[in-house]
A and B are shown apart, each in its own frame.
Chain A
Amino acid sequence: AYRTDEGQPWILPVVKKVEQMIANDNSLNHEYLPILGLPEFRANASRIALGDDSPAIKENRIGSVQSLGGTGALRIGAEFLRRWYNGNNNTATPVYISAPSWENHNSVFVDAGFKDIRTYHYWDAAKRGLDLQGLLNDLESAPEFSIFILHACAHNPTGTDPSPEQWKQIAAVMKRRCLFPFFDSAYQGFASGSLDKDAWAVRYFVSEGFELFCAQSFSKNFGLYNERVGNLTVVGKDADSVQRALSQMEKIVRTTWSNPPSQGARIVATTLSSPQLFDEWYGNVKTMADRVLLMRSELRSRLEALGTPGTWNHITEQIGMFSFTGLNPKQVEYMIKEKHIYLLASGRINMCGLTTKNLDYVAKSIHEAVTKIQ
């Protein structure tokens, strides 16, 4: 979760404002939302992902399912794919997840009933970057119609995203081989500070004529973690297919949570549908993204100033909340035991944990770990 420079959770000012508006609105009650969620939320959430001028929206071939966070959107999408993707029983359809990925991806698809879950090459530990060739090779050799889980931006946990040119190559192979793109978009806006930039990959695939799913989370970019605000955006070839798909998604939702929680969706819908509140929100998002970007550049410059062995440009080239530092498990253990700096054995650090007050200490500690432990 995001932290301020004081190391505290941050409720976005626009969220505070909108919550007050909601509290003061006596016409609002706690009645059930429709099964697919609050209509104003669904439409605005998908519009944010696909862009105001999306051809898919213009052609009325998109659908939205309000979900319990990004996880809920992934699960509903997975359950639907298992029932309806390529024929009526997709338990044997291969699902490809990046190596590494958010560890819950695997569990979501296993529990949705998929039996053949594989990994695709992604992180090149040696060069500390994207293993593009490995990725493309896996796309070429995957069985036709396989499902690929793609991180829309700010890859978790590596922070390493394909460049636009690399996305184009990925898309070309996926199109030729009839592979299904299932995007996980948990950091739109939060990654670069620009909603459009962080949605570039999803929109590119749409412009290339793909049918796709995009699981969106508003946990980070709205700071609404515990309100469980998510959305599954469905892009189809035609309106009728999407309608039928949504009617089946309703059935899945009905046996999972019946209808989604209203508070978080109201906050997001109110914010996104008001030009003024939208601008305020954008400013809040940029505040968060800029702080993380600042921490990245400050950490890198300190490491380079200290002469810490190795190259550290990956710290600023990576994006989003997390960074794969390249520290090995022994060095990580040193950081935890000797320096009381907590990070994962994979070397992943949460950039949000850095503050102007602890930058020096963290940089020195990394320097020690790298020089003392091999």
Chain B
Amino acid sequence: SSWWSHVEMGPPDPILGVTEAFKRDTNSKKMNLGVGAYRDDSGKPYVLNCVRKAEAMIASKKMDKEYLPIVGLADFTRASAELALGENSEVLKSGRYVTVQGISGTGSLRIGANFLHRFFKASHDVYLPKPSWGNHTPIFRDAGMQLQAYRYYDPKTCSLDFSGAVDDISKIPEKSIILMHACAHNPTGVDPRQEQWKELAAVVKKRNLLVYFDMAYQGFASGDINRDAWAVRHFIEQGIDVVLAQSFAKNMGLYGERVGAFTVICRDAEEAKRVESQLKILIRPMYSNPPMNGARIASMILNTPDLRKEWLVEVKSMADRIIGMRNQLVSNLKKEGSSHNWQHITDQIGMFCFTGLKPEQVERLIKEFSIYMTKDGRISVAGVSSGNVGYLAHAIHQVTK
């Protein structure tokens, strides 16, 4: 008999399930609002112009395919840190940080999780906002960490439960690890305002917590890379030495190239060297060294002034399209005659929106209107276009009136 006779079938991925059902649907008006990737106004994947240009430049240079160092492409990791921290950051000037290339957001989060498991002896508890990205929990669990939660989303108002968050965070045992979404919270789209971030930083500092920032949408949230990195930079300025996972999947549209970075802010450059040596020891038995293609593209864009300018314009246009769709959805709902308050749709930010729809209402949207989303009422605004926003508003009104 087989060694694998006792292996259970793994549970189907809930988000993939949405896409599978969508594919089977023959309704011409169907909409896939589960997709976690940007779509243009025609509903198509979008390859950024600056990416195409960078690719052409790279091809013309005829570079070799020799292994990257374990920590990745230096020009990329340096530029990635600078993008997150700001070029004037004292951290960059003093060199008291290490940034390693990671396999997009997931790989970067995992390197960090493994590093914390091995070297953060004070605690193995990671506090996630409630709710958080579904993959955070298994990533930290597989790294040997324990998961806890702090209040974050208020389903009654579809916005931030600020007092609940402050209350919970102020009770987290000292020296625990707290994970925070730098911008465009996934899945709710609910971000703290800057004054709220200031208060959160004060509480976190008082509790002496290690802050793990997940920044997967820099530039993609507000359209402004500096604005989206404000929280990360503020925490550092307040003397909180954070760790940070970055993804370039969405803001550069490099999803399948797996471009990301993991950063540890250290006391000084010497400590950073020691931390780097340990990160290498973690990475080597995982995949030896990271893939070149996407990192080269990202590096070319970040380090070539013209391309960087073009990128900033393109990322803003992606963010603007999303914001535009949010506005149109709300105005269309008003036009439909909905009496509900849909302000949260435009208050929320980034790719996702927690509509506040209940499971039964989601069920109806799927069955009666062929509009697909996850049971928690989360929609990907990237899947909305000027061609179907009216239909979406009509359907939502039908199931909520």
CA distance A203 to B10 in the complex (A): 29
Given that A104-B285, A255-B139 are known contacts, is A237 also in contact with B1, CB under 8 Å in the complex? yes
Let me know if B256 and A262 touch, CB within 8 A: yes
Q: What A residues does B13 contact at CB under 8 A? A: 35, 250, 254
Given that A11-B64, A261-B294 are known contacts, is A236 also in contact with B4, CB under 8 Å in the complex? yes
Let me know if A226 and B285 touch, CB within 8 A: no
CA distance A86 to B9 in the complex (A): 16
Let me know if B7 and A84 touch, CB within 8 A: yes
Name the residue of chain B whose CB is nearest to the CB of A84: B7
Which of A68-76, A118-126, A148-156, A315-323 forms contacts with chain B?
A68-76
Q: How many residues of B contact A (CB 8 A)?
A: 55
Let me know if B255 and A32 touch, CB within 8 A: yes
Q: What A residues does B258 contact at CB under 8 A? A: 257-261
Is residue B55 contacting chain A, with contact meaning CB distance below 8 A?
yes
Let me know if A30 and B4 touch, CB within 8 A: no
Contact of B7 among A35, A72, A75, A248 (CB under 8 A): A248
Is residue B289 contacting chain A, with contact meaning CB distance below 8 A?
yes
Is residue B110 contacting chain A, with contact meaning CB distance below 8 A?
yes
Let me know if A245 and B291 touch, CB within 8 A: no
Let me know if A85 and B3 touch, CB within 8 A: yes
Within the complex, the shortest CB–CB distance from B258 to chain A, in Å, comes to 5
Let me know if A258 and B65 touch, CB within 8 A: no
Let me know if B291 and A264 touch, CB within 8 A: yes
Is residue B277 contacting chain A, with contact meaning CB distance below 8 A?
no
Let me know if A228 and B9 touch, CB within 8 A: no
Let me know if A31 and B55 touch, CB within 8 A: no
Q: What does the 1/0 interface line of B294-307 toward A look like (CB < 8 Å)?
A: 10000000000000
Q: What A residues does B56 contact at CB under 8 A? A: 23
Let me know if A256 and B106 touch, CB within 8 A: yes
Which of A48-56, A107-115, A298-306 forms contacts with chain B?
A107-115
Let me know if A68 and B103 touch, CB within 8 A: yes
Q: What A residues does B356 contact at CB under 8 A? A: none
Within the complex, the shortest CB–CB distance from B111 to chain A, in Å, comes to 10
Is residue A196 contacting chain B, with contact meaning CB distance below 8 A?
no
Within the complex, the shortest CB–CB distance from B220 to chain A, in Å, comes to 15
Is residue B8 contacting chain A, with contact meaning CB distance below 8 A?
yes
Let me know if B135 and A254 touch, CB within 8 A: yes
Let me know if A32 and B65 touch, CB within 8 A: no
Within the complex, the shortest CB–CB distance from A67 to chain B, in Å, comes to 8
* Complex interface residues of chain B between 271 and 289 (CB less than 8 A to chain A): 281-282, 284-289
Let me know if A263 and B293 touch, CB within 8 A: yes
Let me know if A111 and B286 touch, CB within 8 A: yes
Within the complex, the shortest CB–CB distance from B107 to chain A, in Å, comes to 5
Contact of B291 among A23, A35, A228 (CB under 8 A): A228
Within the complex, the shortest CB–CB distance from A356 to chain B, in Å, comes to 21
Given that A111-B286, A248-B10 are known contacts, is A225 also in contact with B291, CB under 8 Å in the complex? no
Given that A31-B255, A68-B287 are known contacts, is A226 also in contact with B67, CB under 8 Å in the complex? yes
Q: What A residues does B4 contact at CB under 8 A? A: 84, 211, 236-237, 241-242, 244-245
Q: What A residues does B1 contact at CB under 8 A? A: 237
Count of A-B residue pairs with CB < 8 Å: 182
CA distance A35 to B284 in the complex (A): 21
Q: What does the 1/0 interface line of B114-151 toward A look like (CB < 8 Å)?
A: 00000000000000000000010011011000000000
Is residue B164 contacting chain A, with contact meaning CB distance below 8 A?
no
Given that A32-B37, A256-B107 are known contacts, is A211 also in contact with B289, CB under 8 Å in the complex? no
CA distance A194 to B294 in the complex (A): 32
Let me know if B257 and A263 touch, CB within 8 A: yes
Let me know if B291 and A227 touch, CB within 8 A: yes
Provide the main secondary structure of the chain B interface: loop
Contact of B256 among A224, A227, A237, A259 (CB under 8 A): A259
Is residue B253 contacting chain A, with contact meaning CB distance below 8 A?
yes
Given that A180-B3, A256-B107 are known contacts, is A69 also in contact with B287, CB under 8 Å in the complex? yes
Is residue B5 contacting chain A, with contact meaning CB distance below 8 A?
yes
Let me know if B10 and A30 touch, CB within 8 A: no
* Complex interface residues of chain B between 305 and 327 (CB less than 8 A to chain A): none
Q: What does the 1/0 interface line of B74-116 toward A look like (CB < 8 Å)?
A: 0000000000000000000000000000011111001000000
Is residue A243 contacting chain B, with contact meaning CB distance below 8 A?
yes
Q: What B residues does A87 contact at CB under 8 A? A: 6
Given that A226-B68, A255-B142 are known contacts, is A31 also in contact with B292, CB under 8 Å in the complex? no
Is residue B290 contacting chain A, with contact meaning CB distance below 8 A?
yes
CA distance A75 to B287 in the complex (A): 8
Q: What A residues does B67 contact at CB under 8 A? A: 1, 219, 225-226
Name the residue of chain B whose CB is nearest to the CB of A113: B144
Given that A30-B47, A75-B287, A261-B294 are known contacts, is A247 also in contact with B3, CB under 8 Å in the complex? no
Contact of B65 among A29, A84, A110, A226 (CB under 8 A): A226
Let me know if A110 and B285 touch, CB within 8 A: yes
Given that A30-B254, A68-B287 are known contacts, is A227 also in contact with B9, CB under 8 Å in the complex? no
Within the complex, the shortest CB–CB distance from A230 to chain B, in Å, comes to 8
Name the residue of chain B whose CB is nearest to the CB of A9: B64
Q: What A residues does B254 contact at CB under 8 A? A: 30
Let me know if B292 and A236 touch, CB within 8 A: no
Q: What does the 1/0 interface line of A2-38 toward B look like (CB < 8 Å)?
A: 0000000101000100011001000001111101000
Q: What does the 1/0 interface line of B9-53 toward A look like (CB < 8 Å)?
A: 110010000000000000000000000010000000101000100
Within the complex, the shortest CB–CB distance from A350 to chain B, in Å, comes to 14
Contact of B257 among A88, A258, A262 (CB under 8 A): A262
CA distance A86 to B285 in the complex (A): 23
Q: What A residues does B103 contact at CB under 8 A? A: 68, 256-258, 261
Let me know if A258 and B107 touch, CB within 8 A: yes
A-B contact pairs, 20 of them (CB 8 A): A1-B67, A30-B51, A30-B254, A32-B37, A32-B249, A32-B256, A33-B256, A88-B6, A223-B65, A226-B291, A228-B288, A237-B2, A237-B3, A255-B141, A255-B142, A257-B103, A258-B107, A258-B135, A259-B258, A261-B256
A72-B286, A224-B65 are known; give 10 further A-B pairs, CB within 8 A: A11-B65, A30-B47, A107-B285, A111-B286, A112-B285, A226-B68, A244-B4, A248-B8, A254-B138, A261-B258
Binding site for A on B (CB under 8 A): 1-10, 13, 37, 45, 47, 51, 55-56, 59, 62, 64-68, 103-107, 110, 135, 138-139, 141-142, 249, 253-258, 281-282, 284-294
Binding site for B on A (CB under 8 A): 1, 9, 11, 15, 19-20, 23, 29-33, 35, 67-69, 71-72, 75, 84-88, 104, 107-108, 110-112, 180, 211, 219, 223-228, 236-238, 241-245, 247-248, 250-252, 254-264
Nearest 9 A/B pairs, CB to CB:
A68-B287, A247-B10, A107-B285, A226-B292, A258-B106, A262-B256, A241-B4, A257-B103, A237-B2
